[in-house]
Amino acid sequence: MVRQLSQRKTITIPSEVLKKTGSNPGDFFEISSDGQKIILIPKLIEDKFDEKEWEKLKELAKGKGSVYNEAKDALTHLKGLKNEV
């Protein structure tokens, strides 16, 4: 299979190739080169938040939030949130 590099420096990977690796839109790949070949390795990216942290973020997103006149007050508030998790 031959594909042309676009002006935006992208190459479309044929669906047959993606099916063989079980890859889907949105998946991540590690990209490297040995000087002659471009190597794509499928990678699984795990969430950096656990379930408890996600719940806290969802609750925070529901709130109206706070307005601070000084940065130090905002930092104090953020440190307090970090300690709650």
Residues 16-72 have pLDDT tens digits of 999 998 999 999 999 999 999 999 999 988 878 888 888 888 888 888 778 899 999
User: Residue 23 CB: number of other CB atoms within 10 A?
Assistant: 16
The length of the chain in residues reads 85
Residues 17 and 38 in one domain: yes
53 or 9, greater pLDDT: 9
Residues 40 and 59 in one domain: no
Q: Report whether pLDDT(85) > 70.
A: no
Residues 36 and 59 in one domain: no
SS3 call for 24: coil
Residues 6 and 39 in one domain: yes
Residues 35 and 67 in one domain: no
How far, in Å, CA of 9 to CA of 42, rounded?
Answer: 20
Range of 63's domain? 51-84
Q: What is the mean pLDDT of residues 68-82?
A: 89
Q: What is the CATH number of the domain that holds 8?
A: 2.10.260
Residues 60 and 34 in one domain: no
Predicted confidence at residue 84, as pLDDT, reads: 66
SS3 call for 56: helix
Give the number of domains in the chain.
2
Predicted confidence at residue 8, as pLDDT, reads: 96
Radius of gyration, CA atoms only, the chain: 22
Confidence of residue 5 (pLDDT cuts 50, 70, 90): very high
Of residues 46, 36, 43, 45, the one with CA closest to residue 21: 43
